[in-house]
A and B are shown apart, each in its own frame.
Chain A
């Protein structure tokens, strides 16, 4: 088990290296584009461009450029933005990361919890009114765009009904660090959590229902019934574990993508200055160093959550433990 984890970590580092090279090449070696002018931002003076060229070693060979870039990102961490002059990029990413992590982790807990319950209920009451109703609700959840849900949530909790007893507890938009006030953190995030989770609840519930129904056709389900177990025991002890494998795969991809900036819309609408928000701003101002940093950061998270998923596989399914 341990050696498998170590192997997975080495594998992860190799993948991250590959991604960093690829991202670097996209930014610095795209034919017909001058990276110095891009980094320097719009309407930069020739002096600024020259400084950028010197700083990033753009007249040196590509491997040296790559090394310099990585050094600025990871070792000296002094990569600076030229759009917001003098603003260091890496500390900004580190400031934004906890906000995004709080948002996405909380939402993930909610969406896994709800989707497992809904998926189990739908599978247990397959083809009845309950099943149909839950699946229609899931479809509605999937169909509602997150920015619209977020705006509606704000409209209700911050606007019209803010002064009623129902929503007077809702704090103004923005983030409250957990270390400042756990309760404030929770209050500030609970509505964004549900908003972000709705889509995934619908999606995961439907996937889990389908997986459960497929698993319920397996021979070992008949064995479990022949043992005299109740339908509930069969569903939860014998079918759910196998059916969760598909969910875990999805989860790794979705979680990584969201932490890496995919929660952009939710962050922007709720004024949470996380990674997505940062990327959004950087894109608006064409702040290349910032975009570079957030892309690398995002890839780290996608790769890490995939590694986590591989470990989770081994926990869920003993057959995956000896693989590779």
Chain B
């Protein structure tokens, strides 16, 4: 089912941690493909495993007790189990990462210019002056005003939005084919969020990178992503092109997520919340992880995790399409 054109192909990725109480599986059999120049969104609440999924792409989970299993193919390169020297050549060079909190993502004791140049010269055999010019161009490209002055600044001297732009400039410095963005706008205020999202969208055109965008903000996904995967308790429970997912969500959890989005026009009403909490990772039910909270739970749900339905719109739910239509209309008229 792997797309031959895929830039990144993740198959049955599992991330587990050895703990005193046994092995805890935080990401469970996740599979997805990212096509060239695609913006792939991953949504899910805190603890759903979305950050671990993309950190494991670059093998950046620092915990010595982590076990990563499955396959992550990047082009013709297998990244799971790749030696450290290979990973160093990929990190920052072919796959770059933007982190959630720009306040803490830059080393406080170096100027932003120096940090960008460091990355360029790590991967490209260029002279200091070429790297310097490239750094200025990058800062300009991400919309930092007056790069010739700003590159001398230390991270603490810049605003959150400026820092995130600097982080993005750094991530782009070696023209990566894939950009991993871990909640890049969460720590920023709303107006800056919109600017950074515009920037990310523009960069795809300008730099031609694919982007994996992690967020818990459905609005962000709706705005920028081409394709979306919804994660719940370490598994992808639904995956579709963005328009399809928002027009016709198939999984009851996705219904709940979309139902909890405020609507600007239309009658004001209390936002619907999904009752209950996600299961603890060490105590996940044997069947569908969402079953204990699902309003439409039935006998088959609790036996085994439902398989992900093949096709362009994948869903891991045993409710069949006819029934789903009636359930949805029932949901919409509570």
Residues of A within 8 A of B (CB): 216-220, 222-230, 233, 237-238, 241-242, 316-319
Question: Do A230 and B105 touch (CB < 8 A)?
Answer: no
**In whole angstroms, how far apart are the Cα atoms of A227 and B60 in the complex?**
11
Give chain B residues whose Cβ lies under 8 Å from the Cβ of A242. Answer: 107-109
| Residues 81-118 of B at the A interface (beta carbon under 8 Å) | 88-93, 96-97, 99, 101, 104-110, 118
Contact of B156 among A218, A223, A228, A319 (CB under 8 A): A319
* Given known A226-B97, A227-B170, contact A220–B108 (CB-CB < 8 A): yes
Contact of B96 among A217, A220, A226 (CB under 8 A): A226
With an 8 Å Cβ cutoff, the count of chain B residues facing the other chain is 29
Nearest 4 pairs of A and B residues by beta carbon: A228-B92, A227-B92, A219-B104, A228-B91
| Residues 112-133 of B at the A interface (beta carbon under 8 Å) | 118-119, 122-123
Q: A223-B107, A229-B88, A241-B109 provided; 6 other pairs, C-beta below 8 A?
A: A220-B107, A223-B105, A226-B96, A226-B99, A229-B92, A233-B122
**Interface class of chain A by DSSP:** helix
Shortest beta-carbon distance from A139 to chain B in Å? 24
Question: Do A237 and B118 touch (CB < 8 A)?
Answer: yes
**In whole angstroms, how far apart are the Cα atoms of A61 and B245 in the complex?**
90
Question: Do A226 and B109 touch (CB < 8 A)?
Answer: no
Does B62 interact with chain A (Cβ within 8 Å)? Answer: yes
Contact of A226 among B89, B91, B123, B154 (CB under 8 A): B91
Contact of A228 among B105, B110, B122 (CB under 8 A): B122
Question: Do B60 and A222 touch (CB < 8 A)?
Answer: yes
Give chain B residues whose Cβ lies under 8 Å from the Cβ of A317. Answer: 108-109
* Given known A223-B105, A317-B108, A318-B108, contact A229–B122 (CB-CB < 8 A): yes
> Of all chain A residues, which has the CB nearest B89?
A228
| Complex interface bits, B154-167 against A, C-beta within 8 A gives 1, otherwise 0 | 10110000000001
Does B58 interact with chain A (Cβ within 8 Å)? Answer: yes
Give chain B residues whose Cβ lies under 8 Å from the Cβ of A238. Answer: 107, 110
Question: Do B88 and A230 touch (CB < 8 A)?
Answer: yes
Question: Do B99 and A319 touch (CB < 8 A)?
Answer: no
Give chain B residues whose Cβ lies under 8 Å from the Cβ of A229. Answer: 88, 92, 118, 122
Give chain B residues whose Cβ lies under 8 Å from the Cβ of A318. Answer: 108-109, 154, 156-157
Question: Do A228 and B93 touch (CB < 8 A)?
Answer: yes
Contact of B107 among A217, A224, A228, A230 (CB under 8 A): A224
Contact of B108 among A224, A225, A227, A319 (CB under 8 A): A319
Interface centre among A219, A223, A233, A241 (most CB of B within 10 A): A223
Shortest beta-carbon distance from A221 to chain B in Å? 8
Shortest beta-carbon distance from B261 to chain A in Å? 29
Instruction: List 11 A-B residue pairs with CB atoms under 8 Å apart, sorted by A's residue number.
Output: A222-B105, A223-B97, A223-B107, A223-B167, A226-B92, A226-B99, A227-B118, A227-B122, A241-B109, A316-B109, A318-B109
Give chain B residues whose Cβ lies under 8 Å from the Cβ of A237. Answer: 107, 110, 118
> Of all chain B residues, which has the CB nearest A219?
B104
Question: Do A228 and B108 touch (CB < 8 A)?
Answer: no
> Of all chain B residues, which has the CB nearest A226?
B97
**In whole angstroms, how far apart are the Cα atoms of A217 and B104 in the complex?**
11
Give chain B residues whose Cβ lies under 8 Å from the Cβ of A218. Answer: 104
> Of all chain B residues, which has the CB nearest A215?
B107
**In whole angstroms, how far apart are the Cα atoms of A174 and B29 in the complex?**
74
> Of all chain A residues, which has the CB nearest B59?
A225
Give chain A residues whose Cβ lies under 8 Å from the Cβ of B90. Answer: 228
Give chain A residues whose Cβ lies under 8 Å from the Cβ of B118. Answer: 227, 229, 237
Give chain B residues whose Cβ lies under 8 Å from the Cβ of A219. Answer: 99, 101, 104-105
Question: Do B104 and A220 touch (CB < 8 A)?
Answer: yes
Question: Do B119 and A220 touch (CB < 8 A)?
Answer: no
Shortest beta-carbon distance from B174 to chain A in Å? 8
